[in-house]
Structure 1
Amino acid sequence: STALPARAAGPDTGSGSGHGRDVGIDTVVASAHAAGLRGVLVVTPPSADQATYVVKENTRHWPERQDSVAVDPRTGTVTDHARWADHPVLAKMTRWGIDAHMGLLFGLANQIVLALLALALIGMILGGYRMWWLRRPTRAGGPAFGRPPLPGGWRRLPGRFLAPALLLTAVTGYFVPLFGLPLLVFLVVDLIVGARRGRRTARTEAAA
């Protein structure tokens, strides 16, 4: 953990903590260590809205340590202990997702994967421009944009690829709603357009 300077003892001015002397940050950190906190610690002193010290673990790499304790500033005793192990699974996954996205969860390997992902996204963008360039209108007076792909293309994928892709997309969309909701709207629109196109084609063939 980081070395923290001791807070000079003096009258306690924290709201709700009563009269007495502050034990100082060194004692507070020692109490947190005795309660099992390790690694980098973040210490928040008492304030008008908080009558105790709050000491939090800030280990952002795997395995994460995010325990926190409240310490009485007058006695140095731990009055509350919030354990990372007791957090709900979804809360843990959110924390892991944020740290993985920031390249902190698995260190250098995590950062290499993110760099490769960024390069892959750049490649996809450049590939999209290349595809448009190959399909661009070449005649004067032609349409302003290249011909779009037919709807429903994803449904023509083999089942062994489509099933795991849909499962992975559903799980990702559940945990990242801002990704999942627009994708769901896109799929619904694609299904509606494809169904209408299919009915129109069927009527045309029947009339012929």
Structure 2
Amino acid sequence: MSTITSAAPAENAASGVSLYRAIWRWHFFAGLLVVPFLLNLAITGSLYLFKNEINESVFAYRYDVVASGQPLAPEKLTEIATAAVPGSAVTSYKDPATPERSAIVTVSGNGGSTLVFIDPYSGKILDTVGSTEEFNYVVKRIHSLALFGGFPNKLIEIAGGFAMVLVVTGIYLWWPRRQTGGVVTVRGTPARRVFWRDLHAVTGAFAGILIFFLAITGMPWSGYWGSNVQAWLGSHGLGYPTQLWDDVPKSEKVTQDILPVVGWSVEQAPVPLSDLPAARSNKPIGLNRAVEIAKAAGLTPGFDLAMPSGEAGVYSAAIYPDDLAKERTIHIDQYSGKPLVDISYGQYPIFGKAIEWGINVHQGREFGRANQFLMLATCLAIVLSCVTGVVMWWKRRPSGRVGVPPMPPRRSVYIGLWTIAAVYALAFPLTGLAILLMIAVDQAIIRTIPPLRRVFA
């Protein structure tokens, strides 16, 4: 009896040490791989949170105007825009958000797509900039790494998934185990490694939930997971109400193909077609009338309106404001002026609403300045976690070696981790596969090749 009693605590202790070391090793590898990506996400995300403030200060010369008299008609503004970019055609018109804002006309030609900023009162050209060169657009593309191609964009998706793993494993490693510091306080001074360890742990513990939130709400934009979830929700009527399209002919285009800004839930919604038989007895209503219809339908100022694409195309108007309740997309028959599809946030099914709300909070738009600064604080916490993690590792690592946390005494603990990784791979395939690959390399290559085992020790 005494032998069994004394062996049980030792066995439990060995199991606890094995699990702790395995998760520590996992946390280390995940952090080492994604630190550069997380820094990029945090820095560019911080900038994008204040895109409106950047436009109103740095680029005020092309956004701000003095209200004086009656503004020019939209069609007149588009004529001015096409004259400023010879050989171009209008693709969309942005209604001024306030009387003190410029109108923005997007034109396309051989040189690509161009934004033309116009004083709606005088018709003066305030600026022209390529659509893909606009500052906030570039920041957003760097944020997702889409600026550098499809593969880097997939890496950001993997990094977002790893961020969730880092939060969960980090909280496990932080969880109090009879230590007197490093839970809510920071010990030592910057000269000591324990200072950086505690600062890393306490920052992650307090900001972990928000970091996890940013990671999960950023996934809808990802190239693989986001597009597949979007397609699945759409095909099951959970992302947007597909029944609204039942009685109208649909084109091959989707809403995000034609509008500069559109809600996530309706990005893949098909664009309807105008009634061609009715076209024989009606002339196109024109941009002026389409803008009037959009305003009469209740779209708030600042909406984008895309021009019809071809003879059967429609006018498509959309507004994606800070107030989600006012989010709206309307497709208007270019001949009759009849709204063919009119969809608002209130009509989204529960999953569509939840994802849109998460995206709005992620972008700092849902509850004013508090939202912006809360997300900014989270981004700064990510930067601090990355910096403290790297400094802590650098101070801890043995000279000439990577300094990977030691292997767990019991390798059987990896059976559980493999199972967790396999389940995670079902939810987030790219990240899950990367985790499985990470564990496989650790177990089948680093552990079995002596030179690598020494370097990574």
1:87 to 339, 348, 352: 348
Deviation of residue 46 (structure 1)? 1.5
- Cα shift readout 1:123-163 (whole Å, capped 9, x = no counterpart): 2122222322332225xxxx6132515659xxxxxxxxxxx
Residue identity opposite 2:352 in structure 1: A
Identity of aligned residues (%): 24
Any conservation in 2 of the 1:15–1:49 contact (CA below 8 Å)?
A: no
Deviation at 1:114, TM superposition (A): 2.5
Number of the residue aligned with 1:76: 337
CA gap 1:69/1:180 in 2 versus in 1, 3 angstroms = same
1:146-161 equivalences in 2 (<5 Å): 146-148=403-405
AA aligned to 1:93 is: A
What residue in structure 2 maps to residue 203 of structure 1?
none
Q: Who is 2:293 aligned against?
A: 31
Taking a change above 3 Å as real, the CA distance of residues 145 and 5 of structure 1, as seen in their structure-2 partners, is: same
1:108 aligns with 2:369: yes
| Shift, 1:120, TM fit | 1.1
Distance 1:114 1:129 in 2: 23
One-letter amino acid matched to 1:36: G
Rounded Cα–Cα distance in structure 1 between residues aligned with 2:311 and 2:389: 54
1:66 aligns with 2:327: yes
RCO greater where, 1 or 2, for CA within 8 Å and sep 6 or more? 2
Unaligned runs of 5+ in 1: 9-13, 153-169, 194-208
Structure 2 match to 1:144: 401
C-alpha offsets along residues 57-115 of structure 1, whole Å, 9 cap, x if unaligned? 221x1334332222233332323322322223333333333343333333432321222
Q: What secondary structure is seen at the aligned counterpart in 1 of 2:324?
A: coil
Q: Give the Cα separation in 1 of the matches to 2:329 and 2:289.
A: 16
4+ runs deviating over 4 angstroms: 149-152, 182-187
2:308 aligns with: 46
- Name structure 2 gaps, 5 residues minimum: 1-70, 77-273, 410-423, 444-457
Partner of 2:283: 21
RMSD: 3.9
Deviation at 1:43, TM superposition (A): 1.0
2:408 and 2:72 mapped to 1: Cα distance? 61
Give the SS at the match of 1:112.
Answer: helix
1:2-17 alignment runs, 5 A limit: 5-7=73-75, 16=276
SS in 2 for 1:128: helix
Indicate the residue corresponding to 1:165 in structure 2. Answer: none
User: 2:361 aligned with 1:97, yes or no?
Assistant: no
2:432 is matched with which residue: 162, 181, 184?
181
8 Å CA contact 1:4–1:26 kept in 2: the answer is no
**Segment drifting more, 70-79 vs 118-127:** 70-79
Q: 3-state SS of the aligned residue for 1:7?
A: helix
Q: Which structure has the greater CA radius of gyration? A: 1
Please give the alpha-carbon distance, in whole angstroms, between the structure 1 residues aligned to 2:312 and 2:365: 30
**Equivalent residue of 1:21, what SS?**
coil
Residues 40 and 80 of structure 1: is their aligned pair in 2 closer, same or farther, counting only changes over 3 Å? Answer: same
Preserved contact between residue 396 and residue 403 of structure 2 (Cα < 8 Å): yes
CA 1:178 to 1:151, structure 2 compared with 1: closer, same or farther past 3 Å? farther
Q: Identify the structure with the greater helix proportion.
A: 2
1-structure distance, mates of 2:333, 2:389? 60
Which residue of the partner structure matches residue 24 of structure 2? none
